[in-house]
Amino acid sequence: MHSHYHTVQRPITQLLMWIAILATVVMLLPPLQTAHAGSVADQTKIHANETTSTSTFRDPHTDGEYALWHDLTRSNSIRCSNVEAVRLGDREDVIQLGRVHNGAVAAIDDGKAILGSHEVSGCVAGQSNGIPGGVRLIDLETGAVTPITGAAVQAVDIDGDVIAWLENDFVNPAIEPDVRSLWVQDLATDEPATEIERYEIEDGGVQLLHVDGQRVFWVRWFGANTIDTFGQGDLVEVMAAQAGQVPDLIASFDGGLAELAIAGELIVTITDDRPQLHDLSSGESRWLSDNSASDIATDGRYVFWTEGEDRRVQLIGYDWLTNSRFILWDARSDSDADDAGTVRDIDIQDGTLVWVHGGYNTWMSSTHAARLANHLPSARRVDPGTTNPNWTYYSESGHYLANDFRNYWENNGGLSVFGYPLTEEFDYLSPETGSAHAAQMTERQRFEWHPENAGTPYAVLLGRLGEAILEAQGRDWTTFEKADPSADHYFEATGHAIAPEFYDYWASHGLDLGYGGVSFEESVALFGYPLSESMLETNADGDTVLTQYFERAVFEYHPDNPASSQVLLRRLGAELMESWGW
What's the first-to-final CA gap in the chain, in angstroms?
Answer: 23
Measured CA to CA, the distance from residue 370 to residue 358 in angstroms comes to 17
| 249 three-state secondary structure | strand
Phi and psi at residue 19, in whole multiples of 5°? -60, -40
Query: What would the DSSP string read from start to end of 529-563?
Result: SB-S--EEEE-TTS-EEEEEEBSS-EEEE-TTS-G
Q: Answer yes or no: are the C-beta atoms of 297 and 348 closer than 8 Å.
A: yes
Q: Which residues lie below 8 Å from residue 440, measured CB to CB, with a gap of 6+?
A: 401, 405, 421, 423, 424, 425, 426, 446, 447
Q: Three-state secondary structure along 268-326?
A: EEEECCEEEEEECCCCCEEECCCCCEEEEEECCCEEEEEEEECCEEEEEEEECCCCEEE
Q: Answer yes or no: are the C-beta atoms of 331 and 33 closer than 8 Å.
A: no
Measured CA to CA, the distance from residue 165 to residue 243 in angstroms comes to 12
pLDDT for 535 equals: 97
Query: What would the DSSP string read from start to end of 340-408?
Result: T-EEEEEEEETTEEEEEEE-SSS--EEEEEEEGGGTSTTSPPPP-S--BTTEEEETTTTEEEEHHHHHH
- Residues in the chain where the model's pLDDT stays below 70: 1-43, 49-55, 73-79, 90-92, 102-104, 119-132, 169-178, 201-204, 223-234, 256, 309-312, 332-341, 359-363, 431-434
What one-character DSSP code corresponds to residue 246?
A: -
Q: Answer yes or no: are the C-beta atoms of 371 and 62 closer than 8 Å.
A: no
Query: What would the DSSP string read from start to end of 411-443?
Result: HTTHHHHH-SB-S--EEEE-TTTS-EEEEEEBS
Q: Answer yes or no: are the C-beta atoms of 270 and 253 closer than 8 Å.
A: no
Residues of the chain with CATH 2.120.10.30: 264-374
Q: Which residues lie below 8 Å from residue 185, measured CB to CB, with a gap of 6+?
A: 148, 162, 163, 164, 191, 192, 193, 194, 243
* CATH architecture, domain defined by 264-374: 6 Propeller (2.120)
| Closest by CA position to 287, among listed 32, 33, 29, 31 | 29
Measured CA to CA, the distance from residue 328 to residue 41 in angstroms comes to 10
